[in-house]
Structure 1
């Protein structure tokens, strides 16, 4: 019996790729006095390349950008602070995010979230999506002192939800940090498809969030 659904954040609930594009465009306009010697498209493209879909923290990204583009009058630390302070205002949810969370809650499931990242930064993004109240537990790697795919993080989430790992589904976009890690502790895995990878050995594969309630219904009807 599935009693809990646990989610990743970036690339699963938050459309991070789209959010980053919107943020960098806004940052370029906001700080144009210091950045206008760089073409906007070039600034955005290079940021996205260096960011590596969030796998590189922005201190390194902005150090590289200030060096490459010879940005003066504005330090990489100030660019980083602008990112930390303002990224939340560019957060884009995947379609019908709140509708799906409501549906899962109404079906009697408890909901959790596990995300890698900086604690306050990720919490600001979760609040920007207005979804924090749907979750009984939210574990963020910096505050937990461990990162996915550490199995303890997944066990802690199920413990806090007062369910067994075998009574959970985990939904995420990363083959190792989400899918495999969840399977390793006995959770059912739902891979939210990402074209960056193929042949991911998940229990279920979805293009979007809409099918998740149907999958859980199917598991519980067996």
Structure 2
């Protein structure tokens, strides 16, 4: 069985977030008082900072969204005001969702070979389902596992092992494909799976995990 990450593996998350941040800046540039480039960099930094707090259980999924907005506009905002502003960004973000060009050809090829496919993703279950549905690829996956359901996040080995258990798949015969070396490839390998690093950018590494640069290479891997 082959499990996949979603963001930056199937969905071009960085592109969607960057385009949404630029459009968001156009609306709020007066209040933000910074350059467009500085804002985009700041938005990515805040996104990473507070999403990691969500993954560690320090804040809820909704709270990490509110905190991003309050850091930008001031802590004087109440929760509803922060929610309203973030919801505007969310519309822009969803508008820019798109799959990488190699995604659907890869998934089709693997399914035609009779290989079972699944998802293991950090994040909120409902939002991850929405992404898969929006990209029109949800039907390829037999099992969709997220950290919000399991209670732990990658690279914790429990989420990988629990996913295999729920999918009735042997851990040592299951593959995990993701764009992050540590959290995805190494994390899944340490859990007993076959970790595959999707290194789209071509970063150099001395890691012992399998490395591919496009999902088209995944169709050449012999699975059992």
TM-score (structure 1 length as normaliser) = 0.81
Whole-angstrom distance in 2 between the partners of 1:171 and 1:134: 15
Contact 1:166 1:186 in 2 (8 A): yes
What secondary structure sits across from 1:210 in the alignment? helix
- For the residue of structure 1 that corresponds to 2:10, the secondary structure is coil
Q: Could you tell me how far 1:171 is from its partner in structure 2?
A: 0.4
**What are the equivalent positions in structure 2 for 1:97-108 lying under 5 Å apart?**
97-108=103-114
Q: Cα distance, 1:126 vs. partner? A: 1.9
CA deviations 1:8-40 (Å, max 9, x no partner) are: 1112111211111122233345xx2x4445454
Whether the aligned pair in 2 keeps the contact of 1:111 and 1:134 (CA below 8 Å) is yes
**Quick one: distance in 2 between partners of 1:195 and 1:16?**
14
Do residues 59 (structure 1) and 60 (structure 2) align? no
Distance 1:197 1:52, change over 3 A: farther
User: Could you list the per-position Cα deviations for residues 67-115 of structure 1 after superposition, in whole angstroms to 9, with x for gaps in the alignment?
Assistant: 49x99xx943322223345532211211221111010111110001011
2:17 alignment partner, SS class: helix
Superposed, which structure 2 residues align to 1:16-165 within 5 Å?
Answer: 16-29=13-26, 32=27, 34-36=28-30, 38=33, 39-52=35-48, 55=52, 57-67=64-74, 75-165=81-171
Runs (4+) of structure 1 exceeding 6 A deviation are: none
For residues 94 and 200 of structure 1, the distance between their equivalents in structure 2, rounded to whole angstroms, comes to 26
Superposed displacement of residue 137, structure 1: 0.5
Q: Is the 8 A contact 1:89 1:128 kept in 2?
A: no
- Residue 139 (structure 1) shift: 0.7
Structure-2-length-normalised TM-score: 0.80
1 CA distance for matches of 2:138 and 2:116? 13
Gaps of 5+ in 2: 54-63
